[in-house]
Amino acid sequence: MTAQTTLTASEEDLQQHFDRTIGEDQRIEPRDWMPEGYRRTVVRQIAQHAHSEIIGMQPEGNWITRAPTLRRKAILLAKVQDEAGHGLYLYSAVETLGADRGELTDRLITGRQKYSSIFNYPTLTFADVGVIGWLVDGAAICNQVPLCRSSYGPYARAMIRICKEESFHQRQGFELLMTMMKGTPGQREMVQDAVNRWWWPSLMMFGPPDAESPNTAQSMAWKIKRHTNDELRQRFVDMSVPQAEVLGVTLPDDELKWNAARGHYDFGEIDWTEFKRVVSGDGPCNVQRVAHRRRAHEDGAWVREAAAAHARRNTSE
């Protein structure tokens, strides 16, 4: 069931229809009436998500020319290309709400719109490629599988394919790490070092604690988000600990231990000062990431101009 905008319906009727649609777990579609706040929130979240996918190509892309074997290079190329595809589905989803993709890109490269904090950390060794697959894509899956049930139809549908591909990415990361862990002591050290550097930033991907998350309560009420940041973070910790045991790596948290009463793992305090610093533009690679994206956008200007000229010529013929 979708809300139909009619000339006679009052704002109140439309609001009631919208509330009923959400209450009955139905989808809001692009032409349905929606409160302005809902539209703004969906545009913000999808745009930030799209930017994250595109900026997220950089840390791993860094290793394409230096992958240790042809097989690893082919896998990595395919994965990075998948991330570009995710960005494109998401920009298309946000365009259904009238957002202009050029304007969104402009907001990204001028620092007016966010992307995930995780991509502001450097990839120092090839083990980082495996750890990004295992932990970063693992966190992405935890966060994004529930978004397949998000109330905004085009977003929920885009997430189905994205999640399928993310699961594959996580598998390749785990397989890469497993291979390295069966290798030399030097390779095992590289994996442990990468885990030490990426564990805490991965936990930060889920966003601020619920008590300090300005958007969660309303986004949950609108069913844009299906779980809170802390719920998903806990789910990720519970999922990762046994996987770390199988791999034979140690997660860098002395306070990590099973809590039988809660039925979950307890874990240490996240450095929220670092999170805020990275989100506000002062992480290890923020400047580099945005500059690279800006350069790529500027270098692509002639392609956009040529495509527009071609489209104009075709319509005037």
Please give the biggest Cα pair distance in the chain. Answer: 73
Contacts of 111 (CB under 8 A, 6+ apart): 281, 290
Select from 25-33, 97-105, 111-119, 123-131 the region that touches ligand BYC (CB under 6 A): 111-119
Count of beta carbons in the 10 Å neighbourhood of residue 245:
11
Strands (E), the chain: 257-259, 264-266
Rule CB under 6 A: choose which of 215, 239, 241, 274 binds ligand BYC: 215
Select from 63-71, 191-199, 209-217, 282-290 the region that touches ligand BYC (CB under 6 A): 209-217
Q: Is 128 in the site for ligand BYC (CB under 6 A)?
A: no
Q: Is 82 in the site for ligand BYC (CB under 6 A)?
A: no
How many amino acids of this chain bind ligand BYC (CB under 6 A)? Answer: 29
Q: Is 48 in the site for ligand BYC (CB under 6 A)?
A: yes
Residue 52: name the closest of 205, 227, 274, 216 by CA. 205
DSSP class of residue 149?
A: G
Residue 259, strand partner residues: 264
Rule CB under 6 A: choose which of 14, 28, 83, 253 binds ligand BYC: 83
Contacts of 202 (CB under 8 A, 6+ apart): 118, 135, 136, 138, 139, 236
Residue 96 dihedral angles phi and psi, to the nearest 5°: -65, -15
Residue 135 CA: distances (Å) to CA of 8, 69, 172, 220: 52, 22, 11, 25
Nearer to ligand BYC, 17 or 200 (CB): 200
Residue 151: name the closest of 2, 14, 44 by CA. 2
Q: Is 170 in the site for ligand BYC (CB under 6 A)?
A: no
Q: Is 279 in the site for ligand BYC (CB under 6 A)?
A: yes
CA dist., res. 142 & res. 148, Å (int): 11
Nearer to ligand BYC, 13 or 271 (CB): 271
Q: Is 49 in the site for ligand BYC (CB under 6 A)?
A: yes
Residue 212 dihedral angles phi and psi, to the nearest 5°: -115, 20
Q: Per CB under 6 A, which of residues 225..254 are in contact with ligand BYC?
A: 225, 229
Q: Is 286 in the site for ligand BYC (CB under 6 A)?
A: no
Select from 12-20, 32-40, 211-219, 288-296 the region that touches ligand BYC (CB under 6 A): 211-219
Q: Is 53 in the site for ligand BYC (CB under 6 A)?
A: yes
Q: Is 297 in the site for ligand BYC (CB under 6 A)?
A: no
Q: How far is the CB of 261 from ligand BYC (least distance, A)?
A: 27
Q: Is 154 in the site for ligand BYC (CB under 6 A)?
A: no
Q: Is 219 in the site for ligand BYC (CB under 6 A)?
A: yes
8 Å CB contact between 40 and 67: no
Count of beta carbons in the 10 Å neighbourhood of residue 162:
25
Q: Is 205 in the site for ligand BYC (CB under 6 A)?
A: yes
Q: How far is the CB of 69 from ligand BYC (least distance, A)?
A: 21
Q: How far is the CB of 302 from ligand BYC (least distance, A)?
A: 27
Q: State the residues that interact with ligand BYC by CB under 6 A.
A: 44-45, 48-49, 52-53, 56, 83, 114, 116-117, 136-137, 140, 143-144, 204-208, 213-216, 219, 225, 229, 279
